[in-house]
Amino acid sequence: MKNVHAFGDDALGDRDAVGIAAAIASGEISAAEAAEAAIARIDAVNPHLNAVAFDDRERARKRAVENDFPLGSFIGVPSIIKNNTEFAGLPTRHGSAAVPAHPAQANEAFTNQFLASGVNVVGASTMPAFGLTSTTEFVDREPTRNPWDTDYSSGGSSGGSAALVAAGALPIAHANDGGGSIRIPAAMCGLVGLKPSRGRVEPSKEGRDAPIDLISNGIVSRSVRDTAHFLADTQGFHPAPDLPPVGLVEGPGTTRLRIALITEPLTGGLLDRDTQRCVTAAAELVESLGHRTEMVPPPVDRAYVQQFVDYWSLLAFALDRFGKRVIDKGFDRSQLDPFTRGLSRNCVRHFYRMPGSIRGLRRSTAAFRALHDRFDVILTPTVVHATPELGYLDPALDFDEAMDRLIRFIAFTPANNTAGTPAISLPLGQSTSGMPIGVHFAADLGNERTLLELAFELEAAQPFARIQDGAGG
């Protein structure tokens, strides 16, 4: 195992973001010391992980010295922004050579919501081209590696953020999720990953005008309380007008929940042995805490898989044909990677199906949410099998093979994106080789509070494995 982490006896220690903010507020450490420790940690691990797309340390140092931060939960806490979200002064290249390195002229709406928590952004994190796959691998550069074992994928599309947080270089990092891209790298790197409800936080620029907005912004973290504070801060800055308030969740709830257990992938087949063992153990854990679980079949039929792939292909087609308009006027489609081009061709080949696929996805939302008439929470694996080695989801693979592997791997997460419902991956398991395995919990629209209360309870009952304790190393 090739285990890489930066935890040590510096200003950050092994604190989470809430802990670092408290240390800064008390004067135990300064924001400048926190920034320097994070920069040193990034320098120690990034040569092994390749998780930083753009370095912005000098501006971060300046902000730290000036203590120039909004009043949020994470004042002065170092973090990073995913490189598909505009942060003034940094290029937003979406993980693709097709996008020129023009610095963003202004922050997009979510960036301001993220910064309102008080974080000190030290740069931008890596992602696969346009976030279209679930591994942060490339055709023109080195992959982003998993710090638990650098031979393995860190997941995607928020793989750079997840790798840096898992390795201890940063306590939290921005992530976003259009089919599992917060939850999947969280599962693969042993982190907490909450995808908020559609409309809970400011929409992405890409998703705002789409027929179905799949994308939710959030973070990956090592503790439930960091994720809870982040969500509360977003609502303090700009509350979701059409969703029930969440407030700051600070611990377990008292209500015992009705939990639907689904272990059958929509794509058919079986879970691998390690994943099945960890999901079964998680179900037994929630039962031991007084919740009630019931095994149920998937609430949507297998036609959903084709419909989601059709829609995913439409997004790639829009990039391929209209990249100059929707991304950057310097967009060069000749530099698109094979997987993006393959998705775009798939859209052209099946364009006649698109209206029916969009209608089908909307129907599936009703079927999926109807499960919450009987259950408070849905429990599944986050992904179908244990973290793959680098190369398994390589974007340079034959397109049909790459797509078949991808949809079989991510069978559980996309339904929450089309339905807009919140879901969280928790690092409750490990493979026999010590790699993290995530367990997935979903709730109905606007019900993040239930997920966070359950997550606090599970974290207390079964503390999450820590990379610095040698697990996986």
Which residues are known to be catalytic?
Answer: 82, 157, 181
Calpha distance 219→213 (Å, rounded): 18
Contact 1, 431 (CB under 8 A): no
444 to 120, 215, 394, 402: CA distances (angstroms): 33, 17, 34, 32
Calpha distance 284→309 (Å, rounded): 34
327 to 105, 128, 294, 333: CA distances (angstroms): 13, 16, 45, 11
Contact 143, 136 (CB under 8 A): yes
Record the tokens describing residue 212, joined without a space: 């179905």
Calpha distance 109→7 (Å, rounded): 33
Q: Name the DSSP class of 469.
A: G
| Pairing assessment for the beta strands 192-195 and 423-430 based on DSSP bridges | antiparallel
Q: Name the DSSP class of 398.
A: -
Of 43, 50, 129, which is closest to residue 78 (Cα–Cα)?
Answer: 43
Number of H helices, E strands in the chain: 14, 13
| Pairing assessment for the beta strands 52-55 and 120-125 based on DSSP bridges | antiparallel
Contact 343, 317 (CB under 8 A): yes
Calpha distance 443→463 (Å, rounded): 22
Cis-peptide, bond into residue 204, ω within 30° of zero: no
Placement of tokens 């994308």 in the chain: 215
Burial of 392 per CB tally in 10 Å (0-12, 13-18, 19+): middle
Calpha distance 204→210 (Å, rounded): 10
Count of CB atoms situated within 10 Å of the CB of 242: 10
